[in-house]
Structure 1
Amino acid sequence: MEKDREREMKIAVTTTRDADESLNHKAKDVSKDLNIPYIKRGNFSIKKTILKDGFDYLLVIERDKIVIKGEDSTVFWHPNMSELKIKSIRQGNKEAIIEATKLEEGNSILDCTLGLAGDSLVFSAVVGEKGYVVGTEVNKYIAYLSKCGLETYNDVDGKTIDNIKVVNESYENYILKQSDNSFDVVYFDPMFKEPNRKSASINSFRDFADHKGLTKEILMEALRVCRKRVVIKERQGSNEFEKLGIKKYYGGKKNGAIIYGVIEKNIQ
């Protein structure tokens, strides 16, 4: 279904108005990578260009980043809150996401819903150079933003990130191909059924996200693939955990707070 949505989405690559030849070349390379059209940027606004050429979005190559722009929306790669969380963890503070995953240095984790890799950056910092993160992202545009963003990003220590692998594939397909006990932890952050309308960045991202919910069948596959536990992110007050039979969780008690449900391998 998500791949069908990608085919329906009309998107092209262009540049900023003041692009030089090197930026135009980069845009043409991106168009080849993603197999989508390149259009030379005229002296039009993004909105006018979208309407003039009949596109839903433009993937704009800027000097320092790649941005997906719609008529009234913007999506680009950014470490978001991950740096603050990493610093908090290093200061000895409890972060619910790490309490739930119980990640340690040298561990491996499969992030089934990579998105823009905010959670994966936290995982990357915790597992360190001896550990690794594999992130699956079904939308090719979001996967591309994350891959390019991670390749040029220096972490809170000023180091490049080399322990996160981005896979442009649905987590269902990827998990089914993995052998038993392949990762220490398998993690899911499905799109919340009730969106946070106050977050402009998340609302812009929603058109590119996979909105289907988790099933008991895929959780059983995740339990097969993990060595220790499966962790699912949700909101307090949602009945998703009840539907999936999850009773143990970490996080806030207030309605709407972020919580992380846990299914331990040894009690399946």
Structure 2
Amino acid sequence: MYTRGMEDKLITTSVSPTPEMIERAYQLATRFQCPFEERLHKTMNAFLRKADKVYMVGKLGRDMLYTADSEQPFFFHPSMAKIRVQRMLSGEVDPLVSIAQLRPGDDFLDLTLGLGADSIVASHAVAPAGNVVGVEKNPFIAEVVAQGLKHWDEDVPGLNEAMRSIMVVQQDHLAYLRALKDRSFDTVYVDPMFREARVHSAHLTPLRFWAEDEKVTKDVLKEAKRVARRAVVLKAERGSQIFTRLGFPEIKKHRSVSYGAMPAERGR
């Protein structure tokens, strides 16, 4: 048996897994190139004494990420997206939908998928004919969120359809942008907030132990403007220096966050 420090990550399952869960755990271990160990009756702390991080394949797509540095695991949940969609159904205008001018049939690219809340809202706004792609560099986060979007069930009209319609891409966002043709999406969206330590959320805290340190650089912005047909939209903490650094006007301010929009590159 290996001891803590010999392995960075390992794969296991929840207690009493189905044969399908075990098979999927083996597949993930092969894909992620890390060991699989049967759960049996071992506690998660027992696994965390062997590896720094543990991916647990859960029932009904409820996978979880555990780390010794966080008391709580990371798992998918629609989070504020559920409330925002409910508000949209009652006639309220969502700030992201407003600033991005989203409408049915639009193509929306989210460069910082994270938990996927903004992508879910966008997917609801562009339904039924629109497309939403969410890019996430970390393969473990991408897998947990992709499974959650596929299996999570809510009783809010249109919310399940919005989640199922999102395509998750596991890749560096700059590399993904560079491979796209000009004007591929109506809106390109970036939200680096969940990677910033100043933003406090009990559910986002575990995510930071897994998230890649992807910066929103001027190269990313240049490619995003080329790929967008309408605009590039940025969300950040209110008063964040990222607006100044990237030249975004901070045009829609809320209590804790602000949005900015930059027109797409013209003449292509």
TM-score bracket, shorter-length normalisation:
0.7 to 0.9
Written as runs of structure 1 = structure 2, the 5 A alignment for 1:185-196 is 185-191=187-193, 193-196=196-199
Is the contact made by 1:96 and 1:259 (CA closer than 8 Å) also made in structure 2? Answer: no
Cα distance in 2 for residues equivalent to 1:226 and 1:90: 27
In structure 1, the residue matched to 2:112 is 113
Cα distance change of structure 1 residues 29 and 213 upon mapping to structure 2, 3 Å threshold: closer
2:239/2:258 contact within 8 Å kept: no
Instruction: Give the whole-Å Cα distance in 2 for the aligned partners of 1:170 and 1:210.
Output: 9
How does 1:1-268 map onto structure 2 within 5 Å?
A: 10-19=8-17, 21-51=19-49, 53=50, 55-64=51-60, 65-71=62-68, 72-154=71-153, 156-157=156-157, 159-160=160-161, 161-191=163-193, 193-197=196-200, 199-252=201-254, 254=255, 257-265=256-264
Counterpart residue identity of residue 157, structure 1 = P
Q: How far apart are 1:195 and its partner, in Å?
A: 2.4
Contact 1:47–1:70, Cα closer than 8 Å, also in 2: no
Contact preservation (8 Å) 2:235, 2:259: yes
Question: Sequence identity of aligned pairs in percent?
Answer: 28
Q: Tell me: CA distance 1:177–1:267, structure 2 relative to 1, closer, same or farther (3 Å).
A: closer
Single out whichever of 156-165 and 116-125 deviates more from structure 2.
Answer: 156-165
Could you say what secondary structure the match of 2:91 adopts? coil
- State the match for 1:3 in structure 2: none
Q: Deviations over 1:152-191 (max 9, x none)?
A: 1345226444431111101100111111111000000114
Distance 1:104 1:183 in 2: 13
Distance 1:215 1:29 in 2: 34
Q: Counterpart of 1:57 in structure 2: which amino acid?
A: K
The 2-side partners of 1:128 and 1:40 are apart by 41
Q: In structure 2, do the counterparts of structure 1 residues 246 and 23 end up closer, same or farther at CA, with 3 Å as the change threshold? A: closer
Q: Extract unaligned runs of 5+ from structure 2.
A: 1-5
Deviates more, 1:60-69 or 1:226-235: 60-69
Secondary structure of 2:38's aligned partner: coil
Report if aligned partners of 2:243, 2:250 keep a CA contact under 8 Å in 1.
no
Cα distance per residue 1:46-90 (max 9 Å; x no partner): 112211x2x111111232311111232301111111011011112
In 2: Cα distance, 1:165 partner to 1:175 partner? 15
Partner amino acid, structure 2, of 1:95: D
Flag the 1:243–1:267 CA change in 2: closer, same or farther, 3 A.
Answer: farther
Q: Cα distance, 1:134 vs. partner?
A: 0.9
Distance 1:59 1:221, change over 3 A: same
TM-score by length of 2: 0.86
Q: Counterparts of 1:251 and 1:97 in 2: how far apart (Å)?
A: 11
Distance 1:26 1:217 in 2: 37
**Secondary structure of 1:179's aligned partner:** coil
Q: Distance in 2 between matches of 1:212 and 1:9?
A: 24
Contact 1:190-1:211 at 8 Å conserved across structures: no
Separation of aligned partners in 1, 2:33 and 2:128: 34
State how far apart, in whole Å, the 2-side matches of 1:181 and 1:267 are.
Answer: 10
* Aligned counterparts of 1:152 and 1:75: Cα–Cα separation in 2: 16
State whether residues 96 and 251 of structure 1, in contact with CA within 8 Å, keep that contact through their aligned partners in structure 2: no
What is the one-letter code of the residue matched to 2:147?
A: C
TM-score, scaled to structure 1: 0.86
Please tell me whether the aligned partners of residues 129 and 163 of structure 1 are also in contact (alpha carbons under 8 angstroms).
no
Range moving further from structure 2, 159-168 or 71-80: 159-168
